[in-house]
């Protein structure tokens, strides 16, 4: 009796293993057919973003965030503009470094205890082999809180959100 139960369980288990392996195999095939994260895009060139703000360092920082998203999180390879499947370009439209978040009321004056930075960017990923726009977001807004005067901390948070938004946006193309 015990043996028959054990044999049945084993049979069920091995059946489950085979089914799981088949599912994984099928998923692998589908992933392969899709050609990666973005359709038909394996390599990207990141062009420096136009910077419409008075903060020049954002050009490099936003490019770095975009690189992190595409290379580090989405597994795309960064290549030169001439050879890449796609190019990423965009514009840093706006940078507000000190939007008040919380205020401590006082007599005759109020103290801002928390502020946030807000960055607004336009991003576009263009498949340059097919001449099509793979993904585009205009007015993509990210922010990050900080305790004054640590603006850099807020900026780091905002850029981390930008990475996440790009990853989410690109994955929505699956």
Partner 1 sequence: MALAPASRDSAAHWAGTTLPRAPALIRFRWHYQDERIKYAGRGTVRIAPPDSLRFDYVGPLGLGSGAAVVIGDSVVWADPDKDFRSLVPAVPMLWAAFAMVRPPADGATVFGTQLVDSLRHTRRVVWRFAQPEDTLDYVVTHLDSAGHGGMLEAEWRRRGKMVARSWSRLDSLAHPASARSDFPEVSGGARFELTVVAFDTAQVFAPAVWRSRR
Q: Are 122 and 137 in contact (CB under 8 A)?
A: yes
For partner 1 (CB under 8 A), the number of binding residues is 21
Near partner 1 in 75-94, by CB under 8 A: 93-94
Residue from 11, 12, 57, 129 that binds partner 1 (CB under 8 A)? 57
Q: Are 118 and 158 in contact (CB under 8 A)?
A: yes
Find all residues with CB under 8 Å of 142, minimum gap 6, and list them: 118, 119, 121, 158, 159, 161, 162, 165
Smallest gap from residue 33 Cβ to partner 1 (A): 32
Residue from 47, 99, 112, 157 that binds partner 1 (CB under 8 A)? 47
71 binds partner 1 (CB under 8 A): no
Near partner 1 in 118-147, by CB under 8 A: none
Find all residues with CB under 8 Å of 112, minimum gap 6, and list them: 100, 101, 102, 103, 104, 148
Residue from 36, 39, 45, 63 that binds partner 1 (CB under 8 A)? 63
Contact residues: partner 1, CB under 8 A: 46-48, 50-61, 63-64, 67, 93-94, 97
């Amino acid at each position: 009796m015990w043996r028959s139960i054990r044999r049945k369980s084993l049979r069920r288990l091995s059946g489950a293993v085979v089914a799981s392996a088949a599912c994984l195999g099928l998923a692998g095939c589908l992933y392969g057919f899709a050609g990666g994260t973005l359709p038909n895009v394996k390599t990207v060139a990141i062009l420096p973003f136009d910077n419409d703000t008075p903060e020049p360092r954002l050009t490099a920082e936003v490019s770095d965030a975009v690189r992190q998203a595409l290379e580090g999180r989405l597994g795309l390879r960064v290549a030169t503009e001439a050879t890449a499947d796609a190019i990423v370009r965009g514009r840093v439209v706006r940078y507000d470094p000190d939007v008040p978040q919380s205020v401590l009321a006082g007599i005759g004056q109020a103290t801002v205890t928390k502020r946030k930075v807000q960055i607004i960017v336009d991003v576009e990923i263009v498949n340059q082999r097919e001449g099509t726009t793979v993904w585009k977001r205009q007015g993509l807004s990210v922010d990050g809180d900080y305790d004054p005067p640590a603006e850099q901390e807020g900026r780091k948070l905002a850029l981390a959100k930008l990475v996440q938004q790009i990853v989410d946006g690109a994955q929505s193309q699956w």
